[in-house]
């Protein structure tokens, strides 16, 4: 593939791998590090270390590998399809379903279900184990997730994810009752230095912004609607815990004991808005709260 030329003028002082994760569509920081180490990244025509600090005057040439064929196997797993056409498919994912194969979850994932449903017609940009996957939601979070059926759609949606044209709205139940009717959490997120399996608010982490508003209040709890301005790993869960109101049922960032009646944390991706990658028209979708969520609201109201 032809190299992509990226100007570093707005990233003076940034590491090379961090710059690529921000400036290149659909490239994570881990993927950026692999590309740098493989020689697919040149800074002013020369190979460089991923830790190189940019001055802002450089031109970075990135050569992306050809998309890999999907290696995950199709499996006949029921899907709640909310929207589908020749370019994209949007699914209401249930809590407990892993998005893509990974260590400990080799199959039985959303990817396996999509490969069966779409007869293998998914983009290859995400790699062999993540065909079609543009963004992820946690295993124990439910709700809307969009996948791409071809590479052009994937790249267009990834660009919208980066510039926030692709908008995602969640609803959750939190422990305690936040002050005020709405607010914004603007706090950087990175790996927790004390526990690499968790994320945390860390100075110098990647910028993360979550807007929230109160839908309803209950004794000891509140029902919130959250809008993501960025999409960091576990962002809403980390931000809600950071302001002292962890999500009900979140055993990683809240109470360690599971909540009876909940599969995981009470967090649901309720709405999604994006520009169609082929037509440019706005697509706005929503789905109802899952049964566990509504049952918990009824319980709290009593």
Active site members = 138
Return the closest-CA partner of residue 274 out of 184, 170, 159: 159
Answer for the pair 122, 70: CB distance below 8 angstroms, yes or no: yes
Measured between alpha carbons, how far is 273 from 96 in angstroms, rounded to an integer?
A: 24
DSSP string, 113-179: HHHHHTTT---STT-TT-TTBSS---TT-EEEEEEESSHHHHHHHHHHHHHT-SEEEEEEEEES--S
How far apart, in Å, do the first and last CA atoms of the chain sit? 61
Answer for the pair 178, 242: CB distance below 8 angstroms, yes or no: no
Cα 19 to its chain centre, rounded Å, is 19
Answer for the pair 29, 14: CB distance below 8 angstroms, yes or no: no
DSSP state of 33: H
Give residue for tokens 């056409």: 85
Tally Cβ neighbours within 10 Å of residue 164.
13
- 206 forms beta bridges with 189
Return the closest-CA partner of residue 143 out of 284, 295, 272: 272
The encoded tokens of residue 59 equal 């031109």
């Amino acid at each position: 593939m032809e190299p992509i030329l990226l100007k570093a003028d707005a990233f003076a002082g940034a590491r090379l791998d961090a710059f690529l994760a921000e400036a290149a569509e659909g490239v994570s920081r881990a993927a950026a590090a692999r590309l740098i180490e493989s020689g697919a990244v040149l800074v002013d025509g020369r190979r460089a270390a991923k830790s190189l600090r940019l001055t802002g005057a450089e031109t970075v040439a990135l050569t992306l590998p050809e998309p890999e064929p999907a290696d995950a196997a199709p499996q006949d797993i029921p899907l709640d399809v909310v929207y589908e056409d020749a370019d994209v498919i949007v699914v209401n994912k249930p809590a407990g379903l892993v998005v893509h194969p990974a260590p400990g979850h080799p199959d039985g994932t959303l990817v396996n279900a999509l490969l069966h449903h779409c007869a293998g017609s998914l983009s290859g940009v995400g790699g062999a184990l993540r065909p079609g996957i543009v963004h992820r939601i946690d295993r124990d979070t439910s709700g809307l997730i969009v996948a791409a059926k071809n590479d052009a759609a994937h790249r267009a949606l990834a660009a919208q994810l980066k510039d926030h044209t692709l908008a995602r709205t969640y609803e959750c139940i939190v422990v305690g009752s936040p002050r005020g009717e709405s607010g914004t959490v603007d706090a950087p997120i990175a790996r927790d230095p004390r526990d690499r399996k968790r994320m945390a608010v860390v100075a110098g982490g990647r910028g993360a912004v979550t807007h929230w508003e109160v839908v309803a209040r209950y004794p000891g709890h509140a029902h919130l609607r959250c809008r993501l301005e960025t999409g960091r790993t576990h962002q809403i869960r980390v931000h809600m815990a950071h302001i002292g109101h962890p999500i009900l049922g979140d055993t990683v960032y809240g109470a360690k004991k599971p909540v009876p009646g909940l599969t995981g944390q009470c967090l649901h991706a309720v709405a999604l808005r994006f520009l169609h990658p082929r037509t440019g028209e706005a697509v706005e979708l929503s789905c109802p709260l899952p049964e566990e969520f509504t049952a918990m609201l009824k319980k709290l109201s009593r």
